[in-house]
Structure 1
Amino acid sequence: MSGMCSHFGLAALVLYLLTVDVLANPRSIPVQRTTRLHPNSIRYNVNNNRPIIGILSQEPSKSMASVSPESVSYIAASYVKWLEGQGARVVPIRINQPDSYYKAIFNSINGLLIPGGGASLVTSGYGRAGSILYDLSIEANNNGDFFPVWGTCLGFELLLYLSAAKKNYLTSCESYNRASTLKFLPDASTSHLYQRAPDGVLKTLSKEKSTSNFHHWCMTRENMTMSNLDKFYRPLATSTDDSGLEFVATIEAVNYPIWGVQFHPEKNVYEWGANLTSVPHSPGAVKAGLYFADFFVSQARKSQHRFSSRREEESYLIYNYSPVYTGNVSSSFLQSYFFY
């Protein structure tokens, strides 16, 4: 008995010393973040180390068309570099194609990036193609086929438009050529996008004007609630425009691997136009911009879509095209790919 008591006494002493140490050094307490999984994500734990992401093209502006008058659509090269820098390859997705083309592309790629730009959400080939691919992604994920989607700026707005049954709840605002901080909302800490982000990235995003904004339309939290879009997406962070209007800057779908940002993370790293006076290029801003690409590519690695053959795959890749210098006509893009 005395031996057992001595063991108990020793255990109590150790517990007491550990308790004193924790109280004296609160940083030694491990911080546990609550993990929140999409319903089907538990099935997708096998990484695809050859991820291919499709980038939706769009109609060129007048200035862009002056570089390539016969082109039907274009993709800014910064989006391509942004994904390639994190280990993905890229397939350009053309506009004004038959539904069968989009179905075939969808079944062959591992994720979809809907980029920013100036195309109409309603009448453009960009909007139509985006709608088809969005519907395919919803159907696939509902059937247990994991497929991630990312929208940047206009792509963010297109996701909101499509998720609201093609009704537009955006509000006019002025956040053009403006660097901003992010104000993280409570759901950010349990989101897929931010819950495992490095502390340095989160600090940069919240303390430094590190997000590059180029938009004239915003989604407010009030409009998200009024439209019931907050049932489909969780707003994770907000920013403010030139007049102090608070707008939603990051969204994550509740039950789907769909994310959108109103800002341009790719510009921090790859765009250096003379008129882009607000684009942040600090070391912290560059790391933050790359974090978003790394996150999305990691999601694309969970998809098992593939082309039917290596030859078919190679025929679709962006390597079949050459980027053109457009910094002399466009204030937004140093290089662009054109498609005919």
Structure 2
Amino acid sequence: MPTTLSQGPVNDRPVIGILTQLVSDEVMKPFGRTYIPSSYVKYIESGGSRVMPIRLALTGAEYENIFSKINGLLFIGGSADLETSEFARVAKIFYRLALTANDAGDFFPIWGTCMGLQLLTALVAGENLLANTSAENIALPLNLTTEANSSKMFEGFPDELMKALTQEPLTGNFHHFGVTVETFQENEKLKNFFSVLSTNVAENGAHFVSTIEGKKYPFYGVQWHPEVNRFQWDRKLNFPHSHHAVQLSSLLADFFVNEGRRSLHRFDDPEEEASSLIYNYTPVYAGNFTAYEQIYFF
């Protein structure tokens, strides 16, 4: 039977920007001022997108220009002040641009992983609301909320995987801080902006928010690390590598890149596009001094 496809314009050559992170570890400082672990790059590429690294020392006008050409943005994990660091300053520029664009019907998604989720909550709330929610080097199942079943992030997940998410340690946690469920529920800005899709319990017993999704805006956050399930292998660290863990990582990468395909931003100049991509950089083998096998330095 002939079918009619009823969908809007789709961008099948998306470029997702990844905001570089400040180097804070002394052993990494000789290699560069900012960095992106290659696991995040591979994660985005595995979903069918190219990656543009975004440096932290550019002007506001340059960031606006970049925003008009990329199709989504990833805030990675790491260590930086959520209010005063360059990382936070640049993230705030893109966050405001994304709000304005989405309000005008110009679709633009943002994803935050680990500190990236924490940063999203600080941007929305206008303040740092972190507390000690240490879950360091531990893989956990998710305590899914009722909102998870109607979420965009988990839409289309097989029933078997949704069940496994609640029973198997599929999510790698490597953090000391987070937003507690109590703090989230008491903050009207956060409660109105995000749906909580899952929670977890920290080593000190604190209940923390582990997965969030924007109610109106295509902004998503996970306190855990989906990229490590397929792309990090340090034996000393609890990276989940089971079939379900790999499936989870794959489906989330596909989901976010598909969100990026809905953005029609593009480069007008193919040469500028080519020179902006991660392919122009060579990752450094870093397994002898970090948990990452490879890191891009800038």
TM-score norm. by structure 1 comes to 0.83
Corresponding residue for 1:113? 74
Query: Is the 1:44–1:302 Cα contact (8 Å) retained in structure 2?
Result: no
Q: Which residue of 1 aligns with 2:143?
A: 183
Q: Which of the numbers 36, 42, 54 marks the counterpart of 1:81?
A: 42
Matched residue of 1:214: which SS?
A: strand
In the alignment, what sits opposite 2:218? 257
Residues 1:199 and 2:171 are matched in the alignment: no
Contact 1:58 1:125 in 2 (8 A): no
User: Which deviations, in whole Å up to 9, do the C-alpha atoms of 1:232-269 show, x marking residues without a partner?
Assistant: 10101111112332211110111101000000000111
CA distance in 1, matches of 2:111, 2:160: 23
State the match for 2:293 in structure 1: 334
Q: Deviations over 1:188-222 (max 9, x none)?
A: 11111113222232122111001000111121221
Match of 2:3 in 1: none
**Contact (CA 8 Å) 1:322, 1:337: kept in 2 or not?**
yes
Q: Distance in 2 between matches of 1:208 and 1:231?
A: 31
Match among 85, 89, 107 for residue 124 of structure 1: 85
- Please say if 1:54 is aligned against 2:17: yes
Q: Considering only aligned residues, what root-mean-square deviation do their CA atoms show, in Å?
A: 1.4
- Any idea what SS the aligned residue of 1:48 has? coil
Give the structure 2 partner of residue 272 of structure 1: 233
Distance change in 2, residues 1:281/1:44 (3 Å): same
Aligned residues: 292
**CA-to-aligned-CA distance 1:119-165 (integer Å, 9 cap, x gap):** 22122211111111111100100111000000000000000000002
Contact 1:110 1:148 in 2 (8 A): yes
- Partner Cα separation in structure 1 for residue 161 and residue 265 of structure 2: 31
Is the 1:55–1:113 contact (alpha carbons within 8 Å) kept by the matching residues of 2? yes
Answer whether contact 2:83 2:128 (CA < 8 A) is retained.
Answer: no
Q: Aligned ranges for residues 285-304 of structure 1 at < 5 Å?
A: 285-304=245-264
Deviation at 1:273, TM superposition (A): 1.9
Map of 1:1-340 to 2, 5 A cutoff?
45-68=8-31, 71-165=32-126, 167-228=127-188, 229-276=190-237, 278-331=238-291, 333-339=292-298
* SS at 2:106 equivalent: coil
Amino acid at match of 1:57: T
- Cα distance in 2 for residues equivalent to 1:112 and 1:184: 25
- Show structure 1 runs of 5+ residues with no match: 1-42
Describe the SS at the equivalent of 2:78.
coil
Cα distance, 1:51 vs. partner? 0.8
Q: Which runs of 5+ in 2 are unaligned?
A: 1-5
Alpha carbons of 1:73 and 1:66: their partners in 2 closer, same or farther (altered >3 Å)?
Answer: closer
Decide which structure has the larger Cα Rg and report it: 1
Work out whether residues 67 and 326 of structure 1, in 8 Å CA contact, stay in contact via their aligned partners in 2: no
Task: Quote the Cα distance in structure 2 between the aligned partners of 1:259 and 1:296.
Answer: 9
